[in-house]
Structure 1
């Protein structure tokens, strides 16, 4: 056989038929080596990976031996399953994305439902308290014995007014925020007496508040020609004063200042209250958000979001500086002499 040239193509064809007759269709490569060495004389070179599985070498004659090399079974399986694996991974990824999206929706709906329920509970509690107080005082006034004492009657009437004032504030905070946003109305620019408006707010709080309030004002550098919405702008400032009273001790110190330049003016309301934790400041202007404080149970979380909305419809802004345990300072800034569009 050593005198006859080796026809490796013929060997390849024969080997292929033998494999197919036995139901084997795995790619292979035939390699002819020099006897007892790794020196390759010929090969079919079917691009089979060199690290595939090998058969034992078979002696062809005294000078040559032959060996078949197959692809790894694992590599063959992976090759045949590659498309299936890719499609499975894509489907799995899509399912995970859909489940993640559904989970986010469910979580968001739960948060919305919790906010809605908290709002309803808080609103029910807040509205019931002033109504019950006013009704109780009205029933007392019906007592003939009580009515004979003018001083007691006057006190009862004052309490009724106070409870109705609180009820009015609660309704204002809901109506102003909800309807103004729903209608997307802008500011009704009118020139007004800013100092007189602020003094009226101060007088109303001095008269009706349960707490002792000390107001300090800085209106020395006020100019004429301040334009603002005569309904929303005073209500925004009133909300800031109300928060200053609500989140302070029994003795409240509030400073109201007005500063201005050629282009804009700012109303600044600062207090000596409990302040706002640093981590909560970014969220205080969100609708329905309330600063966590176990001592303060009332409120809907609408006041500061309303203040922000009022500042924005005036083409301005609202900012806050606060130190927890020391107090807060809110600044509403709006342009000067902006004509109504």
Structure 2
């Protein structure tokens, strides 16, 4: 509580905040506001304007920030026996906790809105992306039913392969969304373990071999036959799978894809180099955003989530992702992970 007279002198000051800030009330009573050293010149100017308005009969309510704390301020004119305004009363209430609570609520509401938008975008994307593989699965299944003669075994195997490919596409879409949901909810953490990244990469390349187009090759290049690293194997697997799957998807038949494993200082450097369609330079700055898809990839199935997740996973392990790309020449994605 502070009471000012018509000359802007402090005639009374008291309250628990004085003790919290370590201030002695006796050093302020009788002192003009211009001669106090606890307020800035700008704040003093504002206080004097508020004193003037209150002296004119107004009752003010406003909020201020002072030394990283928030206060609500209410002013009232005080009258003498002749009903003339002789003093002004300023009452300061610490509302820091209230403001912090309001900020948390606002953040939670924004977060909830973002998650709702994420769900809406996924539903919209999924309804479009699911339609193509589901239709292909249905038509392949119908055709299998018509190829029952022994001499049509090759055709049956072809349609079965198509079903498997489209099922894998559906699994990729679902995995991307589940991964993003866990990231958004803060449920993904890195659990590091020691393993050989060379053998790890060989096994992974074998797993995705059936996803390759006709004539495509994935060549693993590495410095040593064994390269032990200390990383989260699950996150690393997702990063490699996504980058290699993209390289396959955005490259034509008979193209070579390089998976390069290198060590620089205490970092593992993973490079995935393709010779595919590349990324338009004007769109490269948006590449790691959620749901972003370059214009030249609109006819190729995808969620627009993969690279966003790759970046998040790399950062969870203290690393980062960068890339170089030339339109119609190919792209190289570089993942740097501390070992």
Specify if TM > 0.5. Answer: yes
Q: 1:194 aligns with which of 181, 194, 197?
A: 197
Note closer, same or farther for the CA distance 1:294–1:215 as it changes in structure 2 (3 Å cut). closer
Q: 2:170 aligns with which of 167, 171, 178?
A: 167
Structure 2 residue 321 is matched with structure 1 residue 318: yes
Q: 1:257 aligns with which of 236, 257, 260?
A: 260
Structure 1 CA distance for aligned equivalents of residues 284 and 147 of structure 2:
53
Measured against aligned partners, the alpha-carbon deviations of 1:80-126 in whole angstroms (never above 9, x if no partner) come to xxxxxxxxxxxxxxxxxxxxxxxxxxxxxxx9999876654432122
Q: 2:291 aligns with which of 282, 288, 304?
A: 288
Determine the structure 1 residue equivalent to 2:106. none
Note closer, same or farther for the CA distance 1:262–1:114 as it changes in structure 2 (3 Å cut). closer
Using the size of structure 2 for normalisation, the TM-score is: 0.60
The higher relative CO (CA closer than 8 Å, separation ≥ 6) is in: 1
Summarize the alignment of residues 1-341 of structure 1 with structure 2, pairs less than 5 Å apart: 119-143=122-146, 145-146=148-149, 149-221=152-224, 223-293=226-296, 296-336=299-339
Point out the structure with the larger strand share. Answer: 2
Note closer, same or farther for the CA distance 1:225–1:140 as it changes in structure 2 (3 Å cut). same
Measured against aligned partners, the alpha-carbon deviations of 1:49-89 in whole angstroms (never above 9, x if no partner) come to xxxxxxxxxxxxxxxxxxxxxxxxxxxxxxxxxxxxxxxxx
List alignment gaps of at least 5 residues for structure 2. Answer: 1-113
Where 2:177 maps in the other structure, the secondary structure is helix
Note closer, same or farther for the CA distance 1:309–1:217 as it changes in structure 2 (3 Å cut). same
Where 1:191 maps in the other structure, the secondary structure is strand
Where 1:265 maps in the other structure, the secondary structure is strand
Structure 1 CA distance for aligned equivalents of residues 164 and 119 of structure 2:
30
Contact 2:323-2:331 at 8 Å conserved across structures: yes
Structure 2 CA distance for aligned equivalents of residues 166 and 220 of structure 1:
33
Measured against aligned partners, the alpha-carbon deviations of 1:211-262 in whole angstroms (never above 9, x if no partner) come to 4312222113365331222222111111111222222233332111011034
Where 2:252 maps in the other structure, the secondary structure is coil
1:150: how far off?
3.1
1:317: how far off?
0.6
Note closer, same or farther for the CA distance 1:116–1:179 as it changes in structure 2 (3 Å cut). closer
Structure 2 CA distance for aligned equivalents of residues 147 and 138 of structure 1:
17
Note closer, same or farther for the CA distance 1:297–1:215 as it changes in structure 2 (3 Å cut). closer
Using the size of structure 1 for normalisation, the TM-score is: 0.59
What RMSD in Å do the two structures reach over aligned CA positions?
A: 2.9
Aligned length: 228
1:157: how far off?
2.2
**Larger Cα Rg: Structure 1 or Structure 2?**
1
Note closer, same or farther for the CA distance 1:202–1:121 as it changes in structure 2 (3 Å cut). same
